[in-house]
Chains A and B, each alone.
Chain A
Amino acid sequence: MTGRTRGAAARLGLIAVPVAFFAVFFAYPVAAIVARGLKVDGVWQSGRIAEVLAQSDVRHVLWFTTWQAVVSTALTLLIALPGAYVFARFDFRGKQVLRAIVTVPFVLPTVVVGTAFLALVGRGGLLDELWGVRLDTTVWAILLAHVFFNYAVVVRTVGGLWAQLDPRQEEAARMLGASPLRAWRQVTLPALAPAVAAAALMVFLFTFTSFGVVQILGGPTFSTLEVEIYRQTSEIFDLSTAAVLTLIQFVAVGAILALHAWTVRRRETALRLVDPSVTARRPRGAGQWALLGGVLVTVVVLLLLPLAVLVQRSLDAPGFGYYRALTRNDGGVFLVPPIEAIGNSLSYAVVATLIAVVIGGLAAVALTRRDAGRFVRGFDALLMLPLGVSAVTVGFGFLIALDEPPLDLRSSWILVPLAQALVGVPFVVRTMLPVLRAVDVRLREAASVLGASPWRVWREVDLPMVRRALLIAAGFAFAVSLGEFGATVFIARPDNPTLPVAVARLLGRPGELNYGQAMALSTILMVVCAVALLVLERLRTDRTGEF
């Protein structure tokens, strides 16, 4: 065997595990549910697609899904771009803390965000009490929650690049006779545009497939594709309509991801990047201070207020009444005291994190090689699919597909962490890949010439450099697993609910006590996620990943 074929074989071996994982736990369940919906007596009913598309309520859902995603994205850019600029170019006291705070919403479970906005703008919410204003029956609640969620995506991706753009490029343009605005338009904006596009596409993807937020805030009026798929499968049991909707979402998500991959590749081309610490300086003049003030006010009102209200509502009963109620088993909503959901969630999330780190880590190592073939590069894009493909479909697909030997997992606890890991893997890959790619190939060669075997090279050269990234990836996977809702809601067993499932069930029932308990559980979930993120923030370096 020559060196070349041996390398190829090793790479294939590495990638085999993640490929098998995705084939069994992603492609197979999704295919199974689509087949179940569109195949009658072994014959594909492709005519169903046209039939479903002809239904006016389906077209209504499609239209709403699209336009709310467009408006959410535009709104997020409008509100977050000034923030990106401020974080990139200004130096002010408390910047590090503020940057961490801004990121918290991104890792919060959708259910918590929905609940928090319900507490702010819903019936009996803060605005209702103060001024009698309610937004929970309008689309504004959904849009604001989406901005809340994705503010960090824009600040991170755009601001991160902005901070590293060499200001001397603009200075060079000024020396050649360009006005400050002209220099910005001609030099900075073109450099920034791919990052803005990539961030916008990410926000569009997240809002297009929004489930938890719309489920809680949308009421009967507003429904995205994902919510509709859930309704069709779990309430109406119309599997063929659900299958068609899944396919539509699949195609849309594929297109968005392809576009995203393209913009990211363009972003990587030939920019002069510098250390971010040298580009930021203290704001000067009234205009810059006003901009900083405006961003601070936005962060407080849009990001902190909903969370503060959530905490306040959870404390509304005397003597931590809602929290204490969580420890009692009322026999109505659950078979167990709701507080047990915390333990369930944590242990599920730990297992899911382990799976995601192993699978995602292997995939990232295999994808690191620059000479990776087309097959491997295609796999790179496929890994992103679980981010956008209907989690509801995956969850339901698990129930349908994994119910017979040799894979009879329907009653096994592992089903929940498996589904959660699926969503965590893309984060692990995205966090580790840039760091692994940044390791100089010749460093590995140096170790190899000194007598290190390939495995030893990985342990001695790669691992020390990616240890941080690995921890960050694990943290993201943990937070994402903790908050996963769409798939878990199907497969979590009634006696073992996770936190988000428990919150959703409590919210679905009338009465002040249930409402209060939902607020209390959400608060607990928020604190766990926020703590996980703040630990990550301490580990973060500027090189690590896209999120």
Chain B
Amino acid sequence: MLLSLEGATVRFGGRAVLDAVDLEVAEHEIVCVLGPSGSGKSTLLRAVAGLQPLDSGRVSLDGRNQVGVPAHRRGVGLMFQDHQLFPQRDVGGNVAFGLRMHGAPKRQQAERVQELLDLVGLPGASRRAVAALSGGEQQRVALARALAPSPRLLMLDEPLGQLDRSLRERLVVELKELFGRLGTTVLAVTHDQGEAFALADRVVVMRDGRIAQSGSPLEVWQRPADAFVARFLGFENVVEATVGAEAADTPWGKVPVPEGAAQGTRPLLVRPGGVRLVPADAGLRCTVTARTFKGTHVAVHLQPEDAPRLEAACALRAAPAVGDEVGVEFDVTEIVVLG
């Protein structure tokens, strides 16, 4: 394993910001840590970088324990959330910084700077002042700077956090391609699930300093580990249910469950696609309270009598109007019994 954390713990005051975290990253793997703010994901990166000492546990790189090794001798790269380019140096000076620190000869520095600026799509920008760059350009320079000393592990803290949406969607594809081509090992943190799913080979969801779930983007999306992960991924239809062999008792009535689902009292998730609208005299009777246009579909908010709200995904034409009475049935393929 290139990187492994064992029982890594960091306490601020009495509170464990990082609570006995175990995590492994293999060579050439792209791992995205996903979690709400305050879940400890930035602290995780800082602990690996050596900027935040551990209170207990260990961080190993290539099997070697890094506790006590200062940040500048760990040979990992970190791209900061707001880039942190050195304002008094030009673009070339920023990119060359790490090479200078490692004592690379001048000519080699110049060649590498040029190579990296080409790579990130800013050829010939070497003499430009960093203050004159746009947000997207700064992000590219920060990436080139982090990549220049060829770190064995590249870490990204909210890499695209401050950019606007369309730029973000374009850059995330570029990054994925670039890392694949270079074979870079990447550990990134973000609070944006879209970004994480687009970038990562493996997604790690964090909650209150602990790892809540780890798996491929598809696994995490299809089978959230628990109610927290499901809600964090944006699913609203989560309730406590008593799960039997074929169906579960929920506040919404009987809901069919997939074969082999764990039985007993558990949270149950109905994906919006699994909420089918039928005429008002069939199924669970609901009132439409709101409609939100989502581009490919319409999210319809439904209020049953004496039960939590439901969200349904509806084709554009079929969407009922606010105030309409509809019936609801559930599709077993879109139902997940959570842990």
Residues of A participating in the B interface, judged by any CB pair closer than 8 Å: 1-4, 6, 440, 442-443, 445-454, 456-457, 460-461, 464-465
B322 CB, min distance to chain A CBs, angstroms: 36
Looking at A445, A446, A461, the one whose CB has the most chain B CB atoms below 10 A away is A446
Is B72 in contact with A442, judged by CB distance below 8 angstroms? no
Given contacts A3-B50, A456-B101, contact A449 B71 (CB under 8 A): yes
Is B51 in contact with A445, judged by CB distance below 8 angstroms? yes
The docked-state distance in angstroms from the alpha carbon of A454 to that of B51 is 12
Given contacts A446-B78, A450-B149, contact A3 B72 (CB under 8 A): no
A254 CB, min distance to chain B CBs, angstroms: 32
Contact of A450 (CB < 8 Å), options: B68, B82, B88, B98: B98
The docked-state distance in angstroms from the alpha carbon of A461 to that of B101 is 13
Is A446 in contact with B53, judged by CB distance below 8 angstroms? no
The docked-state distance in angstroms from the alpha carbon of A289 to that of B40 is 58
The docked-state distance in angstroms from the alpha carbon of A454 to that of B71 is 10
Is B98 in contact with A451, judged by CB distance below 8 angstroms? yes
List 4 extra interface pairs beyond A2-B68, A445-B51, CB under 8 A.
A445-B80, A446-B78, A446-B84, A449-B78
B189 at the interface (CB under 8 A from A): no
Contact of A448 (CB < 8 Å), options: B71, B87, B149: B71
A9 CB, min distance to chain B CBs, angstroms: 13
The docked-state distance in angstroms from the alpha carbon of A465 to that of B89 is 11
Contact of A443 (CB < 8 Å), options: B68, B77, B86: B86
Is B97 in contact with A447, judged by CB distance below 8 angstroms? yes
Given contacts A2-B67, A443-B84, contact A451 B72 (CB under 8 A): yes
A471 CB, min distance to chain B CBs, angstroms: 15
Contact of B76 (CB < 8 Å), options: A1, A449, A461, A465: A449
Given contacts A3-B50, A3-B68, contact A450 B101 (CB under 8 A): yes
Is B97 in contact with A460, judged by CB distance below 8 angstroms? yes
25 residue pairs A–B, Cβ–Cβ below 8 Å: A2-B68, A3-B53, A6-B70, A442-B82, A442-B84, A443-B86, A445-B49, A445-B51, A445-B84, A446-B86, A447-B86, A449-B50, A449-B51, A449-B76, A449-B78, A450-B77, A450-B97, A451-B73, A451-B75, A452-B97, A453-B72, A454-B70, A456-B72, A456-B101, A461-B86
**A-B residue pairs, 6 tightest by C-beta:** A451-B101, A450-B98, A3-B53, A446-B84, A448-B71, A449-B78
Contact of B49 (CB < 8 Å), options: A2, A6, A449: A449
B202 at the interface (CB under 8 A from A): no
- Please, which residues of chain A bring their CB within 8 A of the CB of B70? 3, 6, 448, 453-454
- Please, which residues of chain B bring their CB within 8 A of the CB of A449? 49-51, 71-72, 74, 76-78
B45 CB, min distance to chain A CBs, angstroms: 10
B207 at the interface (CB under 8 A from A): no
- Please, which residues of chain B bring their CB within 8 A of the CB of A445? 49, 51, 71, 78, 80, 84
The docked-state distance in angstroms from the alpha carbon of A457 to that of B72 is 10
The docked-state distance in angstroms from the alpha carbon of A446 to that of B50 is 12
- Please, which residues of chain B bring their CB within 8 A of the CB of A456? 72, 101
A443 CB, min distance to chain B CBs, angstroms: 5
Is B97 in contact with A442, judged by CB distance below 8 angstroms? no
The docked-state distance in angstroms from the alpha carbon of A465 to that of B86 is 10
B64 at the interface (CB under 8 A from A): no
Is A452 in contact with B86, judged by CB distance below 8 angstroms? no
- Residue of A whose beta carbon sits closest to that of B49: A449
Is B68 in contact with A446, judged by CB distance below 8 angstroms? no
The docked-state distance in angstroms from the alpha carbon of A420 to that of B72 is 40
- Please, which residues of chain B bring their CB within 8 A of the CB of A440? 84
The docked-state distance in angstroms from the alpha carbon of A454 to that of B146 is 19
- Residue of A whose beta carbon sits closest to that of B46: A445
- Residue of A whose beta carbon sits closest to that of B74: A449
The docked-state distance in angstroms from the alpha carbon of A464 to that of B82 is 21
- Residue of B whose beta carbon sits closest to that of A443: B84
The docked-state distance in angstroms from the alpha carbon of A445 to that of B50 is 10
- Please, which residues of chain A bring their CB within 8 A of the CB of B74? 449
The docked-state distance in angstroms from the alpha carbon of A4 to that of B12 is 13
- Residue of B whose beta carbon sits closest to that of A2: B53
The docked-state distance in angstroms from the alpha carbon of A81 to that of B87 is 36
The docked-state distance in angstroms from the alpha carbon of A442 to that of B87 is 13
- Please, which residues of chain B bring their CB within 8 A of the CB of A454? 70, 72
Is A1 in contact with B72, judged by CB distance below 8 angstroms? no
- Please, which residues of chain B bring their CB within 8 A of the CB of A1? 68
- Please, which residues of chain A bring their CB within 8 A of the CB of B102? 451
The docked-state distance in angstroms from the alpha carbon of A446 to that of B97 is 10
The docked-state distance in angstroms from the alpha carbon of A447 to that of B87 is 12
B301 at the interface (CB under 8 A from A): no
The docked-state distance in angstroms from the alpha carbon of A2 to that of B70 is 9
- Residue of A whose beta carbon sits closest to that of B142: A446
B154 CB, min distance to chain A CBs, angstroms: 11
Looking at B84, B88, B149, the one whose CB has the most chain A CB atoms below 10 A away is B84
The docked-state distance in angstroms from the alpha carbon of A456 to that of B98 is 12
- Residue of B whose beta carbon sits closest to that of A449: B78
